[in-house]
Amino acid sequence: MLSFTWLKKQIVVEVISSLLIILFIYTALSKLSNYNNFIAQLSKSPFITSYANSIAWSIPAVEIVLSLLLVFNKTRLLGLYASFFLMSLFTAYLVIMLNFSYYIPCSCGGVLQYLTWNEHIVFNSFFIVIAGTGVLLKENTF
């Protein structure tokens, strides 16, 4: 791993956290602002149909809570771990849907709904990598 000074690690962790905050706030607000479409798409998913109502509120809520964890230095490491987990979960869901579902609804909001499924997996993978990098840098900072 590259040898970073403490300040450089802090700056990289701040940038990573900021990118994740922007992603999560954007997607949460996008889902909430178009709630009826979001829940309709979730209801069409063959794996989560019966949980659509709960998921429709919990995903944006989790994204907002994660953003708050990432804002504060004391909770940032937890936020980075949770971001890594959530993005991994979203990506695993996409891969499962692509391989085992006859119908793949798009419950993404905003500009993300215009990505192909493969582009979406690459997009998510980028955020998994930066969240993991943030965890490694944050753990080795202090």
- Higher pLDDT residue, 118 or 140? 118
Q: Are 108 and 120 in contact (CB under 8 A)?
A: yes
Q: What is the pLDDT of residues 3-39, one digit of tens each?
A: 558 788 999 999 999 999 999 999 999 889 988 888 8
Q: Are 6 and 141 in contact (CB under 8 A)?
A: yes
pLDDT level of residue 1 (50, 70, 90 thresholds): very low
Q: Average model confidence (pLDDT) for the chain?
A: 88
Q: If you average pLDDT over residues 108-125, what whole number do you get?
A: 82
